[in-house]
Amino acid sequence: MRRFLLLFLSFFVSISMFAQGTGTLKFTKKEHAFGKVPQSTPVTYSFEFENTGTSPVIIEDAVAECGCTKPEFPKKPILKGKKGIISVTYDAKEAGAFTKKVTVTVVNSKEPVILTITGEVVKAK
């Protein structure tokens, strides 16, 4: 019985030690304004981040709110203290002002990160 209790306690202690480490992505900035963009000229911005947590971070997905915006993100875990980027490209086919959001979900994180790009597409001369 005593061995069972000791084994049981050591199991829970080891699980709690693994659960304590969490990864945290800290973005340099979460919004970018392109200003005026010539029509039919795609523009890209790279949102930089760092894992400031104590364990690796896995980006589960980055989803744009429409097909005119395309995010690209690292598929491999981001190790503690390492940096990375999420590139967001806007197609700029339609003239006019735009505001587009990209929702970034991280494994084991309750809240997604919202990245925003804005600008105005002007007709090419």
**Residue pLDDT, tens place only, 49-106:** 999 999 999 999 999 999 999 999 999 999 999 999 999 999 999 999 999 999 999 9
- pLDDT exceeds cutoff 80 at 34: yes
pLDDT band at 125 (very low <50, low <70, confident <90, very high): confident
- Domain that residue 40 falls in: 22-122
Beta carbons of 122 and 95 less than 8 angstroms apart: yes
- pLDDT exceeds cutoff 90 at 1: no
Locate all alpha helices (DSSP H) within 21-123, ordered by sequence: none
Q: Kindly report the CA angle at 83 between 87 and 34, in degrees rounded to 5? A: 30
Identify whether 71 is part of a domain.
yes
Beta carbons of 57 and 23 less than 8 angstroms apart: yes
Identify whether 30 is part of a domain.
yes
Identify whether 13 is part of a domain.
no
Identify whether 81 is part of a domain.
yes
- For 2, list phi and psi in degrees, rounded to 5: -65, -40
Q: pTM score, two decimals? A: 0.81
Identify whether 87 is part of a domain.
yes
Question: Residue 78 belongs to a domain with what CATH number?
Answer: 2.60.40.10
Beta carbons of 24 and 44 less than 8 angstroms apart: no
Q: How many domains does the chain have?
A: 1
Identify whether 5 is part of a domain.
no
